[in-house]
Structure 1
Protein backbone atom coordinates (compact mmCIF):
# COMPACT_ATOMS: atom_id res chain seq x y z
CA UNK A 1 0.00 0.00 0.00
CA UNK A 2 2.79 2.39 0.91
CA UNK A 3 4.70 1.43 -2.25
CA UNK A 4 1.66 2.12 -4.45
CA UNK A 5 1.18 5.50 -2.83
CA UNK A 6 4.85 6.31 -3.33
CA UNK A 7 4.68 5.28 -6.99
CA UNK A 8 1.60 7.40 -7.60
CA UNK A 9 3.21 10.42 -5.95
CA UNK A 10 6.44 9.92 -7.91
CA UNK A 11 4.52 9.62 -11.16
CA UNK A 12 2.60 12.80 -10.34
CA UNK A 13 5.83 14.69 -9.60
CA UNK A 14 7.35 13.49 -12.89
CA UNK A 15 4.32 14.72 -14.84
CA UNK A 16 4.42 18.09 -13.07
CA UNK A 17 8.17 18.41 -13.66
CA UNK A 18 7.68 17.56 -17.34
CA UNK A 19 5.08 20.30 -17.79
CA UNK A 20 7.29 22.73 -15.86
CA UNK A 21 10.18 22.04 -18.25
CA UNK A 22 7.91 22.56 -21.25
CA UNK A 23 6.77 25.95 -19.97
CA UNK A 24 10.16 27.13 -18.71
CA UNK A 25 12.20 26.16 -21.81
CA UNK A 26 11.04 29.07 -24.04
CA UNK A 27 11.78 31.51 -21.22
CA UNK A 28 15.29 30.06 -20.77
CA UNK A 29 15.89 30.34 -24.52
CA UNK A 30 14.83 33.98 -24.38
CA UNK A 31 17.27 34.65 -21.52
CA UNK A 32 20.05 32.85 -23.41
CA UNK A 33 19.39 34.80 -26.62
CA UNK A 34 19.37 38.07 -24.70
CA UNK A 35 22.77 37.40 -23.08
CA UNK A 36 24.78 36.27 -26.09
CA UNK A 37 25.49 37.30 -29.65
CA UNK A 38 23.21 36.32 -32.51
CA UNK A 39 25.89 34.02 -33.91
CA UNK A 40 25.54 31.58 -31.03
CA UNK A 41 21.76 31.92 -30.89
CA UNK A 42 21.25 31.15 -34.58
CA UNK A 43 23.68 28.28 -34.22
CA UNK A 44 21.43 26.68 -31.60
CA UNK A 45 23.87 27.17 -28.72
CA UNK A 46 22.66 28.23 -25.30
CA UNK A 47 24.40 30.36 -22.65
CA UNK A 48 27.77 30.50 -24.41
CA UNK A 49 28.13 34.16 -23.43
CA UNK A 50 26.82 36.47 -20.73
CA UNK A 51 26.82 39.87 -22.41
CA UNK A 52 24.92 42.00 -19.91
CA UNK A 53 25.81 45.00 -22.05
CA UNK A 54 23.20 43.82 -24.57
CA UNK A 55 20.49 45.32 -22.35
CA UNK A 56 22.15 48.73 -22.24
CA UNK A 57 22.78 48.67 -25.97
CA UNK A 58 19.22 47.58 -26.77
CA UNK A 59 17.57 50.14 -24.48
CA UNK A 60 19.93 52.85 -25.67
CA UNK A 61 19.20 52.49 -29.39
CA UNK A 62 18.27 55.88 -30.80
CA UNK A 63 15.61 54.50 -33.13
CA UNK A 64 14.05 52.44 -30.35
CA UNK A 65 13.35 55.32 -27.91
CA UNK A 66 13.06 53.06 -24.88
CA UNK A 67 11.79 55.61 -22.33
CA UNK A 68 9.12 56.95 -24.67
CA UNK A 69 7.93 53.42 -25.44
CA UNK A 70 7.80 52.53 -21.74
CA UNK A 71 5.87 55.71 -20.95
CA UNK A 72 3.33 55.03 -23.70
CA UNK A 73 2.96 51.38 -22.69
CA UNK A 74 2.44 52.24 -19.03
CA UNK A 75 -0.13 54.88 -19.95
CA UNK A 76 -2.00 52.49 -22.23
CA UNK A 77 -1.89 49.67 -19.68
CA UNK A 78 -2.98 51.71 -16.67
CA UNK A 79 -5.67 53.69 -18.46
CA UNK A 80 -7.05 50.72 -20.39
CA UNK A 81 -7.13 48.47 -17.31
CA UNK A 82 -8.70 51.15 -15.13
CA UNK A 83 -11.38 52.03 -17.70
CA UNK A 84 -12.19 48.36 -18.27
CA UNK A 85 -12.46 47.40 -14.59
CA UNK A 86 -14.46 50.47 -13.52
CA UNK A 87 -16.97 50.07 -16.34
CA UNK A 88 -17.28 46.29 -15.92
CA UNK A 89 -17.85 46.59 -12.15
CA UNK A 90 -20.45 49.34 -12.64
CA UNK A 91 -22.39 47.40 -15.28
CA UNK A 92 -22.24 44.15 -13.31
CA UNK A 93 -23.45 45.98 -10.19
CA UNK A 94 -26.36 47.44 -12.12
CA UNK A 95 -27.40 44.08 -13.56
CA UNK A 96 -27.11 42.47 -10.13
CA UNK A 97 -28.97 44.76 -7.74
CA UNK A 98 -31.05 47.22 -9.76
CA UNK A 99 -34.50 46.60 -11.21
CA UNK A 100 -35.31 48.28 -14.53
CA UNK A 101 -37.34 47.38 -17.64
CA UNK A 102 -35.90 44.73 -19.97
CA UNK A 103 -33.00 44.08 -17.59
CA UNK A 104 -32.81 40.34 -18.27
CA UNK A 105 -33.20 40.79 -22.02
CA UNK A 106 -30.45 43.40 -22.12
CA UNK A 107 -28.20 41.10 -20.16
CA UNK A 108 -28.95 38.30 -22.62
CA UNK A 109 -28.00 40.51 -25.58
CA UNK A 110 -24.85 41.57 -23.75
CA UNK A 111 -23.81 37.93 -23.37
CA UNK A 112 -24.74 37.27 -27.01
CA UNK A 113 -22.04 39.73 -28.11
CA UNK A 114 -19.46 37.26 -26.78
CA UNK A 115 -20.27 35.09 -29.80
CA UNK A 116 -19.14 37.78 -32.27
CA UNK A 117 -15.44 37.37 -33.21
CA UNK A 118 -13.44 40.54 -32.71
CA UNK A 119 -11.85 40.17 -36.14
CA UNK A 120 -15.27 40.49 -37.78
CA UNK A 121 -15.75 43.91 -36.20
CA UNK A 122 -12.26 45.22 -36.91
CA UNK A 123 -12.87 46.74 -40.36
CA UNK A 124 -16.16 48.49 -39.42
CA UNK A 125 -14.54 49.80 -36.23
CA UNK A 126 -11.47 51.03 -38.09
CA UNK A 127 -13.56 52.83 -40.72
CA UNK A 128 -15.69 54.41 -37.98
CA UNK A 129 -12.67 55.61 -35.98
CA UNK A 130 -10.96 56.85 -39.12
CA UNK A 131 -14.03 58.91 -40.04
CA UNK A 132 -13.97 60.37 -36.53
CA UNK A 133 -10.25 61.22 -36.99
CA UNK A 134 -9.32 59.12 -33.97
CA UNK A 135 -6.62 57.07 -35.69
CA UNK A 136 -3.11 58.00 -34.62
CA UNK A 137 -4.28 58.39 -31.02
CA UNK A 138 -5.16 56.06 -28.17
CA UNK A 139 -8.86 56.93 -28.28
CA UNK A 140 -9.88 53.86 -30.37
CA UNK A 141 -8.21 51.66 -27.74
CA UNK A 142 -9.36 53.41 -24.56
CA UNK A 143 -12.89 54.62 -25.30
CA UNK A 144 -14.24 51.09 -26.10
CA UNK A 145 -12.77 49.95 -22.76
CA UNK A 146 -15.36 52.16 -21.07
CA UNK A 147 -17.95 49.61 -22.20
CA UNK A 148 -16.28 46.80 -20.26
CA UNK A 149 -16.30 43.22 -21.46
CA UNK A 150 -19.30 40.86 -21.52
CA UNK A 151 -17.31 37.94 -20.13
CA UNK A 152 -15.95 40.03 -17.28
CA UNK A 153 -19.37 41.51 -16.53
CA UNK A 154 -20.85 38.01 -16.37
CA UNK A 155 -18.06 36.82 -14.04
CA UNK A 156 -18.40 39.76 -11.65
CA UNK A 157 -22.19 39.57 -11.66
CA UNK A 158 -22.10 35.90 -10.65
CA UNK A 159 -19.84 36.73 -7.71
CA UNK A 160 -22.03 39.66 -6.69
CA UNK A 161 -25.14 37.51 -6.67
CA UNK A 162 -23.56 35.25 -4.04
CA UNK A 163 -23.42 38.10 -1.51
CA UNK A 164 -25.95 38.06 1.30
CA UNK A 165 -28.96 40.32 0.82
CA UNK A 166 -28.94 41.14 4.54
CA UNK A 167 -25.72 43.12 4.06
CA UNK A 168 -27.43 45.48 1.64
CA UNK A 169 -30.56 45.76 3.74
CA UNK A 170 -28.52 46.70 6.81
CA UNK A 171 -26.55 49.26 4.79
CA UNK A 172 -29.77 50.78 3.44
CA UNK A 173 -31.16 51.08 6.96
CA UNK A 174 -27.99 52.91 7.99
CA UNK A 175 -28.51 55.42 5.19
CA UNK A 176 -25.94 54.15 2.69
CA UNK A 177 -26.57 54.98 -0.96
CA UNK A 178 -25.84 52.71 -3.93
CA UNK A 179 -22.28 53.94 -4.47
CA UNK A 180 -21.43 53.54 -0.79
CA UNK A 181 -22.72 49.98 -0.85
CA UNK A 182 -20.65 49.27 -3.94
CA UNK A 183 -17.47 50.75 -2.42
CA UNK A 184 -17.84 49.53 1.16
CA UNK A 185 -19.57 46.15 0.76
CA UNK A 186 -19.45 44.78 -2.78
CA UNK A 187 -15.86 45.54 -3.79
CA UNK A 188 -14.20 44.17 -0.61
CA UNK A 189 -16.12 40.91 -1.09
CA UNK A 190 -15.18 40.36 -4.73
CA UNK A 191 -11.44 41.01 -4.48
CA UNK A 192 -10.55 37.60 -5.93
CA UNK A 193 -12.30 38.06 -9.30
CA UNK A 194 -11.15 41.69 -9.42
CA UNK A 195 -7.53 40.59 -9.05
CA UNK A 196 -8.06 38.00 -11.77
CA UNK A 197 -9.50 40.63 -14.11
CA UNK A 198 -6.71 43.06 -13.27
CA UNK A 199 -3.99 40.50 -14.07
CA UNK A 200 -5.71 39.55 -17.31
CA UNK A 201 -6.16 43.14 -18.45
CA UNK A 202 -2.64 44.23 -17.50
CA UNK A 203 -1.20 41.31 -19.47
CA UNK A 204 -3.47 42.03 -22.43
CA UNK A 205 -2.69 45.76 -22.60
CA UNK A 206 1.00 45.47 -21.72
CA UNK A 207 1.71 42.99 -24.52
CA UNK A 208 -0.88 44.20 -27.03
CA UNK A 209 0.61 44.54 -30.50
CA UNK A 210 -2.23 44.52 -33.02
CA UNK A 211 -4.33 47.32 -31.52
CA UNK A 212 -1.54 49.91 -31.03
CA UNK A 213 -0.04 49.06 -34.41
CA UNK A 214 -3.29 49.55 -36.34
CA UNK A 215 -4.77 52.49 -34.46
CA UNK A 216 -1.80 54.37 -32.96
CA UNK A 217 0.86 53.59 -35.57
CA UNK A 218 4.62 53.25 -35.49
CA UNK A 219 5.59 56.83 -34.70
CA UNK A 220 8.31 57.05 -32.06
CA UNK A 221 6.37 59.54 -29.95
CA UNK A 222 3.26 57.36 -29.53
CA UNK A 223 4.16 53.70 -30.14
CA UNK A 224 4.25 51.07 -27.39
CA UNK A 225 7.03 48.63 -26.53
CA UNK A 226 5.57 45.79 -28.57
CA UNK A 227 5.37 47.99 -31.66
CA UNK A 228 8.80 49.54 -31.06
CA UNK A 229 10.36 46.08 -31.28
CA UNK A 230 10.01 46.34 -35.06
CA UNK A 231 12.94 48.78 -35.07
CA UNK A 232 15.27 45.81 -34.47
CA UNK A 233 13.98 44.05 -37.59
CA UNK A 234 16.34 45.40 -40.21
CA UNK A 235 16.12 44.94 -43.98
CA UNK A 236 18.83 42.29 -44.24
CA UNK A 237 19.08 40.98 -40.67
CA UNK A 238 17.27 40.78 -37.35
CA UNK A 239 18.90 41.84 -34.07
CA UNK A 240 17.67 38.90 -32.03
CA UNK A 241 19.67 39.73 -28.91
CA UNK A 242 18.11 43.19 -28.70
CA UNK A 243 14.62 41.84 -29.35
CA UNK A 244 15.04 39.25 -26.61
CA UNK A 245 16.32 41.88 -24.17
CA UNK A 246 13.17 43.95 -24.61
CA UNK A 247 10.95 40.85 -24.68
CA UNK A 248 12.52 39.70 -21.40
CA UNK A 249 11.80 43.10 -19.86
CA UNK A 250 8.19 42.90 -21.06
CA UNK A 251 7.80 39.35 -19.71
CA UNK A 252 9.14 40.17 -16.25
CA UNK A 253 6.52 42.85 -15.52
CA UNK A 254 3.47 40.50 -15.61
CA UNK A 255 5.43 37.91 -13.62
CA UNK A 256 6.16 40.46 -10.90
CA UNK A 257 2.50 41.54 -10.89
CA UNK A 258 1.30 37.97 -10.44
CA UNK A 259 3.97 37.28 -7.80
CA UNK A 260 2.75 40.12 -5.59
CA UNK A 261 -0.97 39.49 -6.18
CA UNK A 262 -1.14 35.71 -5.89
CA UNK A 263 -1.08 35.81 -2.08
CA UNK A 264 -4.21 37.98 -1.95
CA UNK A 265 -5.78 35.93 -4.73
CA UNK A 266 -5.28 32.60 -2.93
CA UNK A 267 -6.40 34.02 0.42
CA UNK A 268 -9.69 35.24 -1.02
CA UNK A 269 -10.40 31.98 -2.80
CA UNK A 270 -9.64 29.96 0.34
CA UNK A 271 -11.86 32.20 2.47
CA UNK A 272 -14.65 31.96 -0.10
CA UNK A 273 -14.42 28.19 -0.13
CA UNK A 274 -14.42 27.85 3.68
CA UNK A 275 -17.33 30.25 4.13
CA UNK A 276 -19.47 28.20 1.77
Structure 2
Protein backbone atom coordinates (compact mmCIF):
# COMPACT_ATOMS: atom_id res chain seq x y z
CA UNK A 1 0.00 0.00 0.00
CA UNK A 2 1.44 3.30 -1.03
CA UNK A 3 1.01 6.44 0.97
CA UNK A 4 1.14 9.84 -0.69
CA UNK A 5 2.08 12.92 1.23
CA UNK A 6 1.35 16.48 0.36
CA UNK A 7 3.11 19.56 1.55
CA UNK A 8 0.75 21.84 3.47
CA UNK A 9 1.49 25.56 3.38
CA UNK A 10 2.13 27.09 6.75
CA UNK A 11 -0.14 30.04 7.42
CA UNK A 12 1.30 32.98 9.27
CA UNK A 13 -0.83 35.77 10.74
CA UNK A 14 0.35 39.31 10.04
CA UNK A 15 -0.62 42.68 11.45
CA UNK A 16 -3.96 44.06 10.33
CA UNK A 17 -5.55 40.66 10.07
CA UNK A 18 -3.86 39.79 6.77
CA UNK A 19 -2.47 36.32 6.20
CA UNK A 20 0.25 34.89 4.04
CA UNK A 21 1.30 31.35 3.27
CA UNK A 22 4.88 30.15 3.05
CA UNK A 23 5.82 26.75 1.72
CA UNK A 24 7.94 24.65 4.02
CA UNK A 25 11.41 24.31 2.56
CA UNK A 26 14.00 21.64 3.29
CA UNK A 27 17.00 22.72 5.31
CA UNK A 28 20.18 23.48 3.42
CA UNK A 29 23.43 21.64 4.19
CA UNK A 30 25.22 24.97 4.69
CA UNK A 31 22.57 26.10 7.20
CA UNK A 32 22.81 23.58 10.01
CA UNK A 33 20.07 23.67 12.63
CA UNK A 34 21.77 21.69 15.38
CA UNK A 35 24.38 23.10 17.74
CA UNK A 36 26.95 20.50 16.68
CA UNK A 37 26.44 21.34 13.02
CA UNK A 38 26.90 25.05 13.69
CA UNK A 39 30.08 24.39 15.70
CA UNK A 40 31.52 22.28 12.88
CA UNK A 41 30.63 24.96 10.33
CA UNK A 42 32.34 27.65 12.39
CA UNK A 43 35.44 25.49 12.82
CA UNK A 44 35.66 24.95 9.06
CA UNK A 45 35.20 28.66 8.35
CA UNK A 46 37.81 29.64 10.94
CA UNK A 47 40.20 27.08 9.45
CA UNK A 48 39.87 28.57 5.97
CA UNK A 49 40.18 32.07 7.41
CA UNK A 50 43.47 31.15 9.10
CA UNK A 51 44.68 29.51 5.90
CA UNK A 52 44.10 32.66 3.86
CA UNK A 53 45.35 35.05 6.54
CA UNK A 54 48.56 33.16 7.30
CA UNK A 55 50.68 34.70 4.48
CA UNK A 56 49.64 38.21 5.50
CA UNK A 57 50.31 37.57 9.19
CA UNK A 58 53.71 36.06 8.31
CA UNK A 59 54.57 39.12 6.23
CA UNK A 60 53.51 41.43 9.04
CA UNK A 61 55.66 39.56 11.55
CA UNK A 62 58.68 39.45 9.20
CA UNK A 63 58.50 43.21 8.71
CA UNK A 64 59.26 43.73 12.42
CA UNK A 65 62.17 41.28 12.58
CA UNK A 66 65.90 41.96 12.34
CA UNK A 67 67.92 40.75 9.38
CA UNK A 68 68.88 37.38 10.82
CA UNK A 69 65.35 36.36 11.84
CA UNK A 70 63.29 37.27 8.77
CA UNK A 71 62.88 33.69 7.55
CA UNK A 72 62.60 31.87 10.90
CA UNK A 73 58.86 31.28 10.23
CA UNK A 74 57.84 32.61 13.65
CA UNK A 75 54.57 34.55 13.68
CA UNK A 76 55.67 36.47 16.79
CA UNK A 77 59.10 38.11 16.40
CA UNK A 78 61.69 37.28 19.02
CA UNK A 79 63.22 40.72 18.57
CA UNK A 80 61.00 43.63 17.61
CA UNK A 81 62.56 46.17 15.25
CA UNK A 82 59.97 48.86 14.44
CA UNK A 83 62.80 50.98 13.02
CA UNK A 84 62.42 48.95 9.82
CA UNK A 85 59.42 51.11 8.94
CA UNK A 86 61.60 54.23 9.25
CA UNK A 87 64.73 52.94 7.54
CA UNK A 88 62.89 51.51 4.52
CA UNK A 89 62.31 55.03 3.16
CA UNK A 90 66.08 55.60 3.12
CA UNK A 91 66.84 52.24 1.53
CA UNK A 92 64.21 52.21 -1.23
CA UNK A 93 62.37 54.89 -3.29
CA UNK A 94 59.08 53.44 -2.10
CA UNK A 95 57.05 56.63 -2.56
CA UNK A 96 58.10 56.89 -6.21
CA UNK A 97 57.11 53.27 -6.85
CA UNK A 98 53.73 53.70 -5.19
CA UNK A 99 52.93 56.95 -7.04
CA UNK A 100 53.97 55.44 -10.38
CA UNK A 101 51.85 52.35 -9.83
CA UNK A 102 48.81 54.31 -8.63
CA UNK A 103 48.87 56.64 -11.64
CA UNK A 104 49.40 53.82 -14.13
CA UNK A 105 46.70 51.67 -12.53
CA UNK A 106 44.22 54.56 -12.44
CA UNK A 107 44.78 55.41 -16.11
CA UNK A 108 44.65 51.76 -17.19
CA UNK A 109 41.51 50.97 -15.17
CA UNK A 110 39.67 54.10 -16.31
CA UNK A 111 40.51 53.57 -19.99
CA UNK A 112 39.52 49.90 -20.09
CA UNK A 113 36.36 50.44 -18.04
CA UNK A 114 35.07 53.25 -20.27
CA UNK A 115 36.11 51.71 -23.60
CA UNK A 116 34.76 48.27 -22.69
CA UNK A 117 31.48 49.79 -21.54
CA UNK A 118 31.04 51.66 -24.83
CA UNK A 119 31.69 48.54 -26.90
CA UNK A 120 29.50 46.40 -24.62
CA UNK A 121 26.61 48.87 -24.94
CA UNK A 122 26.90 48.69 -28.70
CA UNK A 123 26.69 44.91 -28.69
CA UNK A 124 23.79 44.94 -26.22
CA UNK A 125 21.62 47.66 -27.77
CA UNK A 126 22.24 47.75 -31.52
CA UNK A 127 21.04 44.99 -33.81
CA UNK A 128 22.98 44.72 -37.05
CA UNK A 129 23.97 41.92 -39.45
CA UNK A 130 26.95 39.94 -38.24
CA UNK A 131 26.64 41.10 -34.64
CA UNK A 132 26.85 37.56 -33.25
CA UNK A 133 29.84 36.70 -35.43
CA UNK A 134 31.66 39.88 -34.49
CA UNK A 135 30.99 39.33 -30.80
CA UNK A 136 32.27 35.77 -31.16
CA UNK A 137 35.49 37.09 -32.71
CA UNK A 138 35.91 39.46 -29.78
CA UNK A 139 35.52 36.59 -27.32
CA UNK A 140 37.89 34.45 -29.40
CA UNK A 141 40.72 36.88 -28.64
CA UNK A 142 40.63 35.60 -25.05
CA UNK A 143 41.85 32.25 -26.35
CA UNK A 144 45.16 33.78 -27.50
CA UNK A 145 48.00 33.27 -24.98
CA UNK A 146 49.74 36.43 -23.90
CA UNK A 147 53.07 35.13 -25.22
CA UNK A 148 51.68 35.14 -28.77
CA UNK A 149 51.06 38.90 -28.81
CA UNK A 150 53.97 39.92 -26.59
CA UNK A 151 56.57 40.32 -29.36
CA UNK A 152 54.27 42.08 -31.87
CA UNK A 153 53.15 44.53 -29.19
CA UNK A 154 56.74 45.26 -28.23
CA UNK A 155 57.67 45.91 -31.87
CA UNK A 156 54.71 48.29 -32.23
CA UNK A 157 55.67 50.31 -29.15
CA UNK A 158 59.31 50.29 -30.16
CA UNK A 159 58.40 51.56 -33.62
CA UNK A 160 56.44 54.38 -31.99
CA UNK A 161 59.41 55.23 -29.78
CA UNK A 162 57.46 54.63 -26.56
CA UNK A 163 59.62 51.91 -24.98
CA UNK A 164 60.80 53.16 -21.60
CA UNK A 165 57.63 55.20 -21.00
CA UNK A 166 54.36 54.46 -19.21
CA UNK A 167 52.28 54.37 -22.38
CA UNK A 168 52.75 50.64 -23.17
CA UNK A 169 51.48 49.79 -19.69
CA UNK A 170 48.03 51.21 -20.38
CA UNK A 171 47.89 52.04 -24.09
CA UNK A 172 46.22 48.80 -25.15
CA UNK A 173 43.40 49.41 -22.65
CA UNK A 174 42.12 52.20 -24.88
CA UNK A 175 40.62 49.49 -27.13
CA UNK A 176 38.81 47.58 -24.39
CA UNK A 177 39.15 44.02 -23.13
CA UNK A 178 37.21 41.00 -24.37
CA UNK A 179 36.41 39.72 -20.89
CA UNK A 180 35.23 43.11 -19.64
CA UNK A 181 33.18 43.65 -22.80
CA UNK A 182 31.45 40.32 -22.19
CA UNK A 183 30.84 41.17 -18.52
CA UNK A 184 29.43 44.61 -19.27
CA UNK A 185 27.31 43.36 -22.18
CA UNK A 186 25.59 40.83 -19.93
CA UNK A 187 24.76 43.61 -17.50
CA UNK A 188 23.41 45.91 -20.23
CA UNK A 189 21.24 43.11 -21.60
CA UNK A 190 19.46 43.00 -18.26
CA UNK A 191 18.38 46.64 -18.48
CA UNK A 192 14.81 47.31 -19.70
CA UNK A 193 14.95 48.21 -23.37
CA UNK A 194 11.86 50.39 -22.93
CA UNK A 195 14.00 52.97 -21.15
CA UNK A 196 16.14 53.48 -24.24
CA UNK A 197 13.16 53.46 -26.60
CA UNK A 198 11.48 56.17 -24.54
CA UNK A 199 14.69 58.20 -24.57
CA UNK A 200 14.89 57.87 -28.36
CA UNK A 201 11.32 59.18 -28.67
CA UNK A 202 12.35 62.17 -26.58
CA UNK A 203 15.17 62.89 -29.02
CA UNK A 204 18.11 61.59 -26.98
CA UNK A 205 21.24 60.67 -28.91
CA UNK A 206 22.90 57.29 -28.59
CA UNK A 207 25.74 58.77 -26.58
CA UNK A 208 23.25 60.49 -24.25
CA UNK A 209 21.40 57.21 -23.79
CA UNK A 210 24.65 55.50 -22.87
CA UNK A 211 25.92 58.20 -20.55
CA UNK A 212 22.65 59.24 -18.85
CA UNK A 213 20.74 55.94 -18.71
CA UNK A 214 22.98 52.92 -19.17
CA UNK A 215 26.00 54.03 -17.14
CA UNK A 216 24.14 55.13 -13.96
CA UNK A 217 22.33 51.78 -13.92
CA UNK A 218 25.53 49.84 -14.61
CA UNK A 219 27.62 51.36 -11.81
CA UNK A 220 28.14 48.01 -9.98
CA UNK A 221 29.54 46.29 -13.06
CA UNK A 222 31.59 49.37 -13.97
CA UNK A 223 33.18 49.45 -10.51
CA UNK A 224 33.88 45.70 -10.68
CA UNK A 225 35.67 46.14 -14.03
CA UNK A 226 37.59 49.11 -12.63
CA UNK A 227 38.73 47.18 -9.56
CA UNK A 228 39.71 44.10 -11.55
CA UNK A 229 41.83 46.12 -13.96
CA UNK A 230 43.32 48.26 -11.20
CA UNK A 231 44.51 45.12 -9.46
CA UNK A 232 45.83 43.67 -12.73
CA UNK A 233 47.75 46.86 -13.55
CA UNK A 234 49.03 47.17 -9.97
CA UNK A 235 50.46 43.62 -10.05
CA UNK A 236 51.69 43.68 -13.66
CA UNK A 237 55.34 42.72 -13.31
CA UNK A 238 55.82 41.36 -16.83
CA UNK A 239 55.00 44.59 -18.66
CA UNK A 240 57.17 46.60 -16.27
CA UNK A 241 60.09 44.24 -16.86
CA UNK A 242 59.75 44.64 -20.61
CA UNK A 243 59.18 48.38 -20.94
CA UNK A 244 60.63 50.00 -17.78
CA UNK A 245 63.53 47.78 -16.74
CA UNK A 246 66.07 49.92 -18.63
CA UNK A 247 65.30 53.07 -16.63
CA UNK A 248 66.33 54.27 -13.19
CA UNK A 249 64.84 52.70 -10.03
CA UNK A 250 62.79 55.85 -9.41
CA UNK A 251 60.80 55.09 -12.56
CA UNK A 252 59.87 51.55 -11.49
CA UNK A 253 56.41 50.39 -10.51
CA UNK A 254 55.71 48.51 -7.29
CA UNK A 255 56.17 44.93 -8.64
CA UNK A 256 59.36 45.85 -10.50
CA UNK A 257 60.61 47.78 -7.48
CA UNK A 258 60.09 44.80 -5.15
CA UNK A 259 61.96 42.57 -7.62
CA UNK A 260 64.74 45.18 -7.75
CA UNK A 261 64.92 45.25 -3.95
CA UNK A 262 65.21 41.45 -3.78
CA UNK A 263 68.16 41.64 -6.16
CA UNK A 264 69.72 44.61 -4.39
CA UNK A 265 69.76 42.97 -0.96
CA UNK A 266 70.69 39.50 -2.21
CA UNK A 267 74.07 38.30 -0.83
CA UNK A 268 74.86 36.74 -4.21
CA UNK A 269 74.60 40.22 -5.75
CA UNK A 270 76.76 41.99 -3.18
CA UNK A 271 73.99 42.76 -0.70
CA UNK A 272 73.81 42.00 3.00
CA UNK A 273 70.52 40.10 3.06
CA UNK A 274 68.44 42.98 4.42
CA UNK A 275 65.20 41.35 3.35
CA UNK A 276 63.33 42.93 6.24
CA UNK A 277 63.06 46.07 4.14
CA UNK A 278 61.56 44.03 1.32
CA UNK A 279 58.96 42.70 3.75
CA UNK A 280 58.12 46.21 4.96
CA UNK A 281 57.82 47.48 1.39
CA UNK A 282 55.66 44.49 0.38
CA UNK A 283 53.34 45.11 3.32
CA UNK A 284 53.00 48.84 2.70
CA UNK A 285 52.20 48.47 -1.00
CA UNK A 286 49.30 46.13 -0.20
CA UNK A 287 47.49 48.84 1.77
CA UNK A 288 46.14 50.74 -1.30
CA UNK A 289 44.62 47.54 -2.66
CA UNK A 290 43.03 46.69 0.70
CA UNK A 291 41.53 50.16 0.93
CA UNK A 292 40.25 50.01 -2.65
CA UNK A 293 38.54 46.67 -2.20
CA UNK A 294 37.08 47.74 1.14
CA UNK A 295 35.53 50.67 -0.71
CA UNK A 296 34.24 48.58 -3.61
CA UNK A 297 33.02 45.46 -1.83
CA UNK A 298 29.43 46.68 -1.68
CA UNK A 299 29.44 46.97 -5.46
CA UNK A 300 30.62 43.36 -5.70
CA UNK A 301 27.72 42.27 -3.51
CA UNK A 302 25.23 44.42 -5.40
CA UNK A 303 26.45 43.19 -8.77
CA UNK A 304 26.12 39.55 -7.74
CA UNK A 305 22.79 40.02 -5.94
CA UNK A 306 21.08 41.74 -8.84
CA UNK A 307 22.61 39.35 -11.40
CA UNK A 308 23.05 42.18 -13.82
CA UNK A 309 19.54 43.57 -13.41
CA UNK A 310 18.48 46.95 -12.11
CA UNK A 311 15.05 48.37 -11.57
Report the TM-score when normalising by structure 1: 0.90
Unaligned 5+ residue runs, structure 1? Answer: none
Using the alignment, how far apart are the partners of 2:104 and 2:244 within structure 1?
A: 11
Structure 1 residues 269 and 248, CA gap change in structure 2 (3 angstroms): same
Stretch of structure 1 that moved more, 178-187 or 85-94: 178-187
1:201 aligns to 2:220 (yes or no): no
Deviations 1:125-154 (A, max 9, x none): 223322332211122222111111101100
2:206 to 178, 195, 198: 178
Conserved 8 A contact 1:195-1:261:
yes
The alpha-carbon distance between structure 1 residues 75 and 26, as it changes in their structure 2 partners (threshold 3 A), is: same
Aligned mate of 2:87, from 50, 53, 57: 57
Indicate which of 39, 55, 72 corresponds to 1:43. Answer: 72
Structure 2, gaps ≥5 residues long:
1-26
**Is residue 256 of structure 1 aligned with residue 284 of structure 2?**
no
| Aligned mates of 1:273, 1:18 — CA distance in 2 | 33
Per-residue CA deviation, residues 94-145 of structure 1 (Å, 9 max, x unaligned), is 1111234432211111101111111222122223322332211122222111
Aligned mates of 1:274, 1:190 — CA distance in 2: 9
Greater displacement, 166-175 / 16-25: 166-175
Report the 3-state secondary structure (helix = DSSP H, G, I; strand = E; otherwise coil) of the residue aligned with 1:143.
helix
Alignment map for 1:62-73 (pairs within 5 Å): 64-73=92-101
Instruction: Find the counterpart in structure 2 of residue 247 from structure 1.
Output: 282
Q: CA 1:228–1:275 in structure 2 vs 1: closer, same or farther (change >3 Å)?
A: closer
Q: Does structure 2 retain, via aligned residues, the 8 Å contact 1:207–1:250?
A: no
Corresponding position of 1:190: 218
The root-mean-square deviation of aligned C-alpha atoms, in Å, is: 2.3
Q: Work out which of the two has the higher radius of gyration on C-alpha atoms and give 1 or 2.
A: 2
Q: How far did 1:38 drift?
A: 2.4
Residues 13-162 of structure 1 mapped to structure 2, 5 A cutoff: 13-46=42-75, 47-61=77-91, 64-162=92-190
- TM-score calculated relative to the size of structure 2: 0.81
Q: Give secondary structure in 1 for the equivalent of 2:34.
A: helix
**Alpha-carbon displacement from aligned partner over 1:61-112 (angstroms, at most 9, x marks no partner):** 2xx3223222211211111111111111111011111234432211111101
Question: Post-superposition shift, 1:221?
Answer: 3.9
CA contact (8 A) 1:77 1:206 kept: yes
**How many angstroms does 1:44 deviate by?**
2.9
Q: How does 1:197-276 map to 2 (within 5 A)?
A: 197-217=225-245, 218-229=247-258, 230-233=260-263, 234=265, 235-236=269-270, 237-267=272-302, 269-270=304-305
Please identify which structure carries the higher helix content: 1
Q: Structure 1 stretch 203-212 or stretch 159-168: which is displaced more?
A: 203-212
Instruction: Give the superposition deviation at 1:272.
Output: 5.6
Query: Paired residues, what number?
Result: 273
